[in-house]
Amino acid sequence: MLEWYASTSRESFLRPKINMNTTDHHAGKPPRIVVIGSINMDLIVRSDILPQPGETHIGSDLLHSPGGKGANQAVAAARLGAEVHMIGRVGNDVYGDKLLDLLHDARVHTEHIHQTDDCVSGLAVIHVDADGENAITVVSGANGRLSPDDVELAEPLIAKADAVLMQLEVPLPTVCVAAEIAHRHNVLTFLDPTPAPPPTQALPPALLNVDWMSPNRTEAQLLSGKAIHSPQHAKLIGAELICLGIRNIAITLGNQGAVIVTSSGTVLHEKGFRVDVADTTAAGDAFSAAMAVARAENQPMPQAALFACACGALAATRLGAQSAMPTRSEVLELLQLH
């Protein structure tokens, strides 16, 4: 059993309780979340250990599962009760048709997802070992064709959103335009900086001005150029990243939970629930989406962090990406048990 993404610390029990079993934030309406990002079909290979360069291992099974960090976060937010609209691209192929159908089935609005001729849909090959750790190779396909024009055409939609959720699996100029439009309309911005650029390639100013950034340990190390060996190190690096202009940061640390640092001076370490980890592939996506939903609902920051941690913990107990995303009732049940 491993601890994952949620708090059982004494500090959390001393915080004021709120009712998280509601999306009643604006006259009874659920929060409106717009996701700009990637849409993939994941090919998941399970084996005892992850292969190293030059090694060959026999896998135990192969699973086709819808994924892509953008689509994962869109489905996660929808299952948590948000009204979710997605801006993205898929190929004009069998995978593209299937991915659109699955998003529609998950109650994600797909009017701003374009099918791209003469281009394959995004694909990800995910190796998962016996401990649930993973290594991922992504073929961008149609995700690489998502343009600033696509986002600008959706400006009226973004202007009416409560939050915009972004990642870095689509072209960087497109993500920058999305952030700039959201800022222009005073919409909350959330960035999952995956894949993170190396320290020699700094993020552009538009992406350092986001309201929330949620890197994992590796991404925070790449962004800062410094290693994270403990939650205390994560707190220090979080504070350094805040100095770059990011308003709030949540660094996820796997079996050590998550560290939250805000520009107002709040620092929290949410420790872990004990759960049976099956696959960590989409745990970070679940965390990011839940944080966006919670803050869009005006949940106080400590409760929002706890809610996001619980969502990430549940996702780690299941195989796949979108298929691993928990419902709101499941997240609340886990919180009540602890």
Q: Which sequence positions are flagged as catalytic?
A: 285
Who's near 77: CB < 8 A, 6+ residues apart? 33, 35, 84, 165, 289, 290, 292, 293
Q: Which residues, listed in sequence order, are joined to residue 116 by a DSSP beta bridge?
A: 91
Among 5, 1, 75, residue whose Cα is nearest residue 310: 5
Q: For Cα atoms 273, 279, 284, give the angle at the middle one, nearest 5 degrees.
A: 65
Question: HSE on the CB side for 119, CA within 13 Å?
Answer: 18
Do strands 258-262 and 248-252 pair parallel, antiparallel, or not at all (unpaired)? Answer: antiparallel
Tokens 């691993």 appear where? 324
Alpha helices in 45-196 (DSSP H): 69-79, 94-105, 148-153, 155-159, 172-184
Peptide bond before residue 148 is cis, with ω within 30 degrees of 0:
no
Distance CA 252, CA 308 (A): 10
CA–CA distance from 147 to each of 169, 173, 334 (Å)?
12, 8, 40
- Residue 201's H or E segment, with its range, is none
Distance CA 201, CA 5 (A): 29
Reading phi first (left if > 0) and then psi (alpha if -120 to 50, else beta), residue 295 is in: alpha
Torsion of CA 238, 244, 245, 248, to 10 degrees: -10
Instruction: Spell out where 193-309 has E strands.
Output: 212-213, 248-252, 258-262, 267-270, 272-275
